[in-house]
Amino acid sequence: MPRLLELVLNDRKRVDAVPDNLLLLDYLREVTGLTGTKTGCDGGECGACTVLVDDKPVLSCLTFAASVAGCKIDTVESLGRDGQLSAVQRGFHEKLGSQCGYCTPGFIMATVGLLRSNPNPTDHDILDALGGNICRCTGYVKIIEAVKYAAGLQAQGVAP
């Protein structure tokens, strides 16, 4: 039996009828058409499906859509304004923080969550915040550099 799901998605109010067993990942991709959130392992082990729920990173493949009723959800599509990349997007682009790019939306959203709560993270903070995200193409050095660069841009006033 569908229920009404009311939430704020990427700064826009939405109301959709969803079944109780619909995962947030599937809601985002299939109901709203936002395909930036990636399906990876389907088991909460890779982080490719990371989105922010009330500014906290959440694995959308393990979260029922109905459980985020009344929440604020941010996906990778929420970043950047007026054709300009956000600080985190710029960091990953300018510091070569992605290879094939499949895991990048999840890393970006985990980074945005980190920088919203801790605008000046240490290396340990970065590693801890990104510990649930896996990249099969890179050795993570460039990703860590991208996060540090993004933190610097944010300190200069660029939105995370």
Q: Is residue 95 domain-shared with residue 74, that is, in the same domain?
A: no
Give the mean model confidence (pLDDT) for residues 81-102.
95
The count of domains in the chain is 2
Q: Is residue 65 domain-shared with residue 109, that is, in the same domain?
A: no
Q: Is residue 70 domain-shared with residue 95, that is, in the same domain?
A: no
- 147 in a domain, yes or no? yes
User: Is the pLDDT at 38 greater than 90, yes or no?
Assistant: yes
Q: Is residue 67 domain-shared with residue 133, that is, in the same domain?
A: no
- 68 in a domain, yes or no? yes
Q: Is residue 39 domain-shared with residue 91, that is, in the same domain?
A: no
| Tokens at 132, concatenated | 């649930």
Can you give the pLDDT at residue 135?
A: 93
pLDDT band at residue 160 under the 50/70/90 scheme: confident
Q: Is residue 44 domain-shared with residue 106, that is, in the same domain?
A: no
Can you give the pLDDT at residue 1?
A: 81
User: Is the pLDDT at 42 greater than 90, yes or no?
Assistant: no
Instruction: Supply the range of the domain harboring residue 151.
Output: 87-155
CA-to-CA dists, residue 88 to 48, 104, 124, angstroms = 16, 11, 18
Q: What 3-state class would DSSP assign to 142?
A: helix
Query: For tokens 């290396």, what's the residue?
Result: 123
Task: Please write the tens of the pLDDT for every residue from 124-137.
Answer: 999 999 999 999 98
Q: Is residue 60 domain-shared with residue 102, that is, in the same domain?
A: no
User: Is the pLDDT at 117 greater than 90, yes or no?
Assistant: yes
76 and 37 Cβ atoms separated by less than 8 Å: yes
Can you give the pLDDT at residue 91?
A: 97
User: Is the pLDDT at 153 greater than 90, yes or no?
Assistant: yes
- 160 in a domain, yes or no? no
User: Is the pLDDT at 147 greater than 90, yes or no?
Assistant: yes
What value does the CA radius of gyration of the chain take, rounded to a whole number of Å? 15
Q: Is residue 100 domain-shared with residue 63, that is, in the same domain?
A: no
What is the identity of the amino acid at 110?
A: A
- 42 in a domain, yes or no? yes
Q: Is residue 114 domain-shared with residue 94, that is, in the same domain?
A: yes
Strand 56-59 relative to strand 50-53, pairing? antiparallel
Does the pTM surpass 0.75? The reply is: yes
User: Is the pLDDT at 139 greater than 90, yes or no?
Assistant: no
> What CATH number is associated with residue 40?
3.10.20.30
Please give the full DSSP string across 50-91, using - where no structure is assigned: EEEETTEEEETTSSBGGGGTT-EEE-GGG--BTTBPPHHHHH
The mean predicted confidence, pLDDT, of the chain is 96
Residues of the chain with pLDDT > 90, as a percent, come to 93
Please state, in angstroms and rounded to a whole number, the distance separating the CA atoms of residues 128 and 33: 31
Can you give the pLDDT at residue 138?
A: 82
